[in-house]
Structure 1
Amino acid sequence: MSQTVDRALSILPLLAEGPASLAEVATRLDVHKSTALRLLRTLHEHGMVYRQDDQRYRLGSRLFALAQEALENLDVRGIAHPHLLALNEKTGHTVHLAVYEDGEVIYIDKVDSRYPVRMYSRIGRPVAITVAAVAKLLLADLPESERRVLAENLQYPRYTAKSVTDAAAFLDELTRARELGWASDLGGHEESINCVAAPIRGADGRVTAACSISAPNVVVTAEELLKLRPLILRTAEAISREMSGRPTPTPTAADEEEEETV
């Protein structure tokens, strides 16, 4: 990277801390005031910084507009799909990706299991919102007041003996999912199907999607499926990092050993 570009980019995180004067910018960059002024003027011309009436500089509106546009154009399905394929390859189980839209939790991607037994879920169809593991994670991230209103207005079908049947129990489930950072559905929708899910977070730290692995009892028990929780959590974290543009950490020996045992 050229020195000029490097210095110009260094101004942005500096101003993210708050408005700064020309002298403060020059000091932080360890450059002459004339150099700092040239860089600030260039950024100002492109709307990246703004000079206030008190002559201090702050981040410009164009920078925020670009950031918002970039976030809106992130394709979570496109980013997540290779990770979902890898998870399916490691486990052999059905993998789902879901989002919360207009009061419903919708599957937006699915990778089928390798065994003959197939799940009836479909891309584009809403999930059983009161029992699905992905739904618990997506709704748990809503503000408390919004969670309560939503819970009180839901219907609670008794799919199985393990289904959640009222708002209070459902809110307890959401609190548990929020505290644990993962969720499960162990026979709550279909007695023979178990599922464990993990949240996918955007650059702002909010849950934007959730991914899960599901399997029938005839293939693995609920206890065996729950042992795969580290894999689904790492998958969700990898997708979250890519969504946020964060670097991927180097796998530890423990991670590699754990994956070899799956």
Structure 2
Amino acid sequence: MSKPTKPANSQTLLRGLSVLECVAHMPRSIPEIAEEAGISYQTAHRIVSVLTDVRYLRQVDSRLYGLGPKVVELGFAGYQQADVTKIAKPCLTKLAQATSDTVHLARLEDGEVIYLDKLQSRRPIEITSRIGGRKPAVSTGVGKALLLDTPEEELRQLFKRDRHLMKVKTSEVEWFERMRVYQDGGYAYDLGEDEHQIRCVAAPLRDATGRIVAAISVSSTLEYMQQDRMEALIPVVKSTAAEISRGLGFV
């Protein structure tokens, strides 16, 4: 008995999706699309024409076609529907259980950190952050992680604006030296700049475009967070951040 064939409409849809995938990474000509998609030139030409008319494809030059603006619009719509808090929660829970420390998730707004989630430490300590609360980005670990891609001039303006809020007096030269180390390493510390006795290790989260959209951190008091433990936590926090970022579409 022969296998049932897919309805014509389904075949057309699948071929259209196949054409989109063919040009996902670089513009291609119709003959190239036909060959890669395994369809005839006539079928490829027809599908390309329809997709171009409805803006899913665009003509790059006289012979090449690439992804059109409609695909970009849908991509951003999909991103906006992705709730970073929900995506991050399972990973944050595992991180909190593994470290026994306070775990934060935060985003950046106008140079300030906004806490999206907080998992309390199992240790007998209290950290003043709260979900929905704000703190200066220049003094917090998550804040500095959120600023890792920020141009230097913007960083200077932000530091000058908020340096008076830092609990540990830090010169501009010293702060930027640390930021360059963090930028190279893909992590950030809070060395008591936000609260004297609190230490923190943080890392950024990236979306499908590679943009930093949030950051996570592990925080505790100096008693539990000496320099050697902070260094040991860097790969742990970065690994968790990478896992969450993959959930956000970052490759």
Alignment of 1:42-121 (within 5 A): 42-44=50-52, 46-51=54-59, 54=62, 56-121=64-129
Alignment of 1:1-262 (within 5 A): 7-44=15-52, 46-51=54-59, 54=62, 56-157=64-165, 159=167, 163-244=168-249, 246=251
By how many angstroms is 1:179 displaced?
A: 0.8
- Contact 2:198-2:219 at 8 Å conserved across structures: yes
Q: Give the whole-Å Cα distance in 2 for the aligned partners of 1:157 and 1:23.
A: 62
Letter in 2 for 1:26: A
Seq. identity, %: 36
Structure 2 residues without counterparts, runs of 5 or longer: 1-5
Q: Give the whole-Å Cα distance in 2 for the aligned partners of 1:52 and 1:180.
A: 38
- Contact 1:156-1:165 at 8 Å conserved across structures: no
- Contact 2:210-2:250 at 8 Å conserved across structures: no
Q: Give the whole-Å Cα distance in 1 for the aligned partners of 2:26 and 2:237.
A: 38
What is the SS of the residue equivalent to 1:121?
A: coil
TM-score by length of 1: 0.81
Q: Give the whole-Å Cα distance in 2 for the aligned partners of 1:20 and 1:225.
A: 49
Letter in 2 for 1:112: Q
Q: Give the whole-Å Cα distance in 2 for the aligned partners of 1:173 and 1:21.
A: 49
Aligned residues: 243
Taking only aligned residues, the RMSD between alpha carbons, in angstroms, comes to: 2.6
